[in-house]
Chain A
Amino acid sequence: MHRGRRGSRGQTPATILMAIKAVGELLAAEGETVGIVVVGGTAMVLRGVATRLTEDVDVIATAKGAGGGQGAHIERADPLPKSLLRAIARVARDFDLPPDWMNSVVTAQWDLDLPPGFEGRIHWEQHGGLALGVADRVDLVFLKLYAAADSEGPESIHYQDLLALRPSQEELEAAARWSRAQDTSPEFSRVLDEVVGHVSKDH
Chain B
Amino acid sequence: MSARITSTLIEGVAEGAIKSAWLQWRSLGARVTASGRSRWIVDPEALVLVSLALRTHERRLWDVLSSWAMTDSGVLSVQRIKNLKAKYPNRINDRLGEFARVAFEEGGDFRWRNLAGPKPAPRARGKMLKGPSSKGWDPAALIVRLRLGLGVGLQADVLAFLISLRGAWASARYIADATDYNVYAIRRTADRMAEAQFIESTAGKPLEYRADSKAWKGFLRSGEDVPPWRFWHQAYAMVADLLDQVEHGGLEAPSSYLLSSRLRDLVEKHQDALRLNEIAYPEAQPATGEEYKDAFVGVVQNLTRWLAE
**Segment 11-47 of A: residues with Cβ below 8 Å from B:** 18-19, 21-22, 25-26, 28-29
Q: Is the pair B264, A22 in contact by a Cβ cutoff of 8 Å?
A: no
**B62 lies within 8 A of chain A by Cβ:** no
Q: A1-B268, A1-B283 are in contact. Are A94 and B289 (CB under 8 A)?
A: yes
Count of chain A residues with a beta carbon within 8 Å of a chain B beta carbon: 16
Contact B254 A94 (CB under 8 A): no
Judge whether A29 and B292 touch: CB under 8 Å: no
In chain A, what residue has the closest Cβ to B282? A1
Our count of residue pairs bridging A and B at CB distance below 8 angstroms stands at: 38
Q: Which residues of A contact B288 (CB under 8 A)?
A: 94-96
Please pick, from B254, B261, B267, B283, the residue contacting A90 in the complex, using a CB distance under 8 A: B261
Residues of chain B contacted by A25 (CB below 8 angstroms): 254-255, 257-258
Residues of the A chain whose Cβ atoms lie less than 8 Å from the Cβ of B255: 25
Is B136 in contact with chain A by the CB < 8 A criterion? no
Chain B CB within 8 A of A123 CB: no
Residue of B nearest to A18 (CB): B289
Q: Provided the pairs A25-B254, A96-B288 are in contact, do residues A3 and B264 lie with their beta carbons within 8 angstroms?
A: no
A22 touches B257 (CB 8 A): yes
Chain B residues closer than 8 Å to A21, beta-carbon distance: 257
Question: How many of B's residues come within 8 Å of A, CB to CB?
Answer: 16
Separation in Å of the B86 CB from the closest CB of chain A? Answer: 21
CB pair A26 B271 closer than 8 Å:
no
* Closest Cβ–Cβ distance, residue A7 to chain B (whole Å): 14
- Report if A93 contacts B (CB, 8 A): yes
**Chain B 243-274 residues near chain A, CB threshold 8 A:** 253-255, 257-258, 260-261, 264, 267-268, 271
Contact of B264 among A18, A26, A94 (CB under 8 A): A94
A22 to B257, CA, bound (A): 7
Q: How far is the CA of A109 from the CA of B286 in the complex (A)?
A: 36
Most chain A beta carbons < 10 A, residue from B254, B267, B286: B286
Q: Which of B254, B283, B286 contacts A29 (CB 8 A)?
A: B254
> Are the CB atoms of B286 and A22 closer together than 8 Å?
no
Contact A3 B286 (CB under 8 A): yes
CA distance A18 to B258 in the complex (A): 12
A18 to B255, alpha carbons, bound, how many Å?
A: 13
Residues of A contacting B286 in the complex (Cβ-Cβ under 8 angstroms): 1, 3-4, 96
B289 touches A22 (CB 8 A): yes
Chain A positions within 8 Å of B260 at CB level = 94
Residues of B within 8 A of A18 (CB): 257, 289
CA of A1 to CA of B254, assembled, Å: 25
| Inter-subunit contact B258/A26 (CB<8 Å) | yes
A sample of 19 cross-chain residue pairs with beta-carbon separation below 8 angstroms, ordered by A number, consists of A1-B267, A1-B283, A4-B286, A21-B257, A22-B261, A25-B254, A25-B255, A28-B254, A29-B253, A29-B254, A29-B258, A94-B257, A94-B260, A94-B261, A94-B264, A94-B288, A95-B288, A95-B289, A96-B286
